[in-house]
Amino acid sequence: MHLQREDFRSDAAYRAALLALEAHKFLPHKPEQAVERAQRALEISPLCPEAHNVLAVLSGSYEAALEHYQRGEEVGLQVVPPEHLQQELAREECWERAVLRPYLRALFGVANTLRKLGRHAHLPELWYRLYGPQECLARAACHPQREACAEYMSSQGCWLYTLGLAQFASGQVRDYRGFNAHKEDLEAAGSIWRLAHRGHALLLAVQQQSKACLYLLGERPLPSNPIPDETPAGGYSQAALYAKMCGDLWRSVPGALDFLKKMYHTQCYAKMLTDNARRPHEGVFDAQAALRHVEAGVFPNVVTTPAPGPDITFMHGTVSLGSWRHGMQAHQARLIKALLKCGGNPRLPDSQGLTPLHQASYYAAGAETIRLLVEAGADPLVHNGMHPSPLEMTANQGNAE
């Protein structure tokens, strides 16, 4: 590791780093000399993360090691001149920069030591606990490893949940933020990372690891038996482990669990509508389960693209359920009533200019559904572009009811 004076904030920090690097070379065979040089390095300058890394490795307990790693992480970024810090962090080859490598070693040392102490920790959790939601987001946005980071890839869902919490706690995201899945290649390198930092972290988390919601919201009890640190991604064990380790963070933020609950049930209902649109002749649409999700609370005006075609709201998707499935009218009326209670807007058009009342009229959603929409403000005489009014559409389709 080659150090250069211009990379450091001061002469003292540079000289201390050189001595700490020398101490590092003595680690395997001469620990006493390693400790002596690391301590001398800290006397020259307290801004020496590599000295703390050396002392952490040689500590007599995990608690003492954790203290040194945390101190190394705290001072690691203070070594770099402040005017150069963001430029350094933005480098794709950040890990290869000698001046930042001790900081990254300290950061991973904190995580590994916490695991050895029986704590499963991912980096956003550490940042959140140490610095709060704003700094957590800032550090995650310029994390040098990005999606090449093995720690990120092994616990992607955990990262996304904590980033979503930080976005809510900081006020960055307070409403549902969706994206068109047909236009986003989630398999492409960097796509999930990019979407997460555009405000979609929690939506992605719920999509990838919905089971964690059940534990965080108390809808499924945490297991009483010990949860292993190494768990398969996406399974109940990983979900329970995240809820056990980070549940206190969610409970500490007013409104966070209510927001998560709405996000979870919104995503569940969106998936049901999407699956129905893609495979209308397959399986059975569980109307009772759908109603439970909507009555639990959803973001009712969410715009989705259930299949290649127009963007629609939940109301559009609900009133068209009967287009391929018979006997849905009573269920549609109950679902529409619940969506209106959640704040659904019956006047919102889809991307083709059609309102839910247009769709209800065309697909013969039933008199009760029509009545609910009209009483909530839907206009039976509205014309949108080339489309006839809902009343005309009803007559054209022969749905006199």
Domain ranges of the chain: 1-119, 121-254, 277-397
**Residue 226: burial class (beta carbons within 10 Å; 0-12, 13-18, 19+):** exposed
In Å, how far are 203, 222, 322 from 207, measured between CA atoms? Answer: 6, 21, 26
The enclosing H or E element of 303 equals strand 303-304
Q: What is the DSSP letter of 323?
A: G
Contacts of 84 (CB under 8 A, 6+ apart): 7
E-state strands within 191-279? none
Number of helices and strands (H, E) in the chain?
21, 2
Among positive and negative, which fits the CA dihedral 315, 343, 357, 355?
negative
Find the range with the poorest average confidence among 79-88, 102-111, 131-140, 268-277.
79-88
On the question of a common fold for 1-119 and 277-397, the answer reads yes
One DSSP character per residue, 72-99 reads: HHHHHTTSS-HHHHHHHHH-TTGGG-TT
What is the pLDDT confidence band of residue 191, given thresholds at 50, 70 and 90?
confident
What is the pLDDT confidence band of residue 54, given thresholds at 50, 70 and 90?
very high
What is the pLDDT confidence band of residue 136, given thresholds at 50, 70 and 90?
confident
Residue 251 has pLDDT above 80, yes or no: yes
Among positive and negative, which fits the CA dihedral 252, 258, 264, 266?
negative
Average pLDDT score over residue span 264-285 = 82
Roughly how many angstroms between the first and final C-alpha of the chain, as a whole number? 80
Cα-only R_g, the chain:
27
pLDDT of residue 368: 92
| 371 vs 84, residue with greater confidence | 371
What is the pLDDT confidence band of residue 55, given thresholds at 50, 70 and 90?
very high
pLDDT of residue 148: 47
pLDDT of residue 145: 47
Residue 99 has pLDDT above 70, yes or no: yes
**CATH architecture observed for domain 277-397:** Alpha Horseshoe (1.25)
One DSSP character per residue, 30-45 reads: -HHHHHHHHHHHHHH-
Residue 154 has pLDDT above 60, yes or no: no
3-state secondary structure at position 384: strand
E-state strands within 81-232? none
Residue 345 has pLDDT above 80, yes or no: yes
What is the pLDDT confidence band of residue 220, given thresholds at 50, 70 and 90?
very high
Average pLDDT score over residue span 219-245 = 76
Domain 1-119 fold = 1.25.40
- What type of residue is 385? G
Q: What is the mean pLDDT of the chain?
A: 82
Q: Most distant CA pair in the chain: distance in Å?
A: 93
Query: Between the ranges 80-84, 108-112, 184-188, where is the mean pLDDT highest?
Result: 108-112
pLDDT of residue 393: 73
* Residue % of the chain over a pLDDT of 70: 79
CA angle 174, 178, 182 (to 5 degrees): 170
Residue 94 has pLDDT above 80, yes or no: no
Average pLDDT score over residue span 148-177 = 80
Residue 273 has pLDDT above 80, yes or no: yes
CA angle 256, 259, 262 (to 5 degrees): 150
Average pLDDT score over residue span 27-55 = 91
Average pLDDT score over residue span 148-172 = 79
Query: Between the ranges 136-140, 152-156, 186-190, 344-348, where is the mean pLDDT highest?
Result: 344-348
What is the pLDDT confidence band of residue 88, given thresholds at 50, 70 and 90?
low
Average pLDDT score over residue span 27-44 = 91
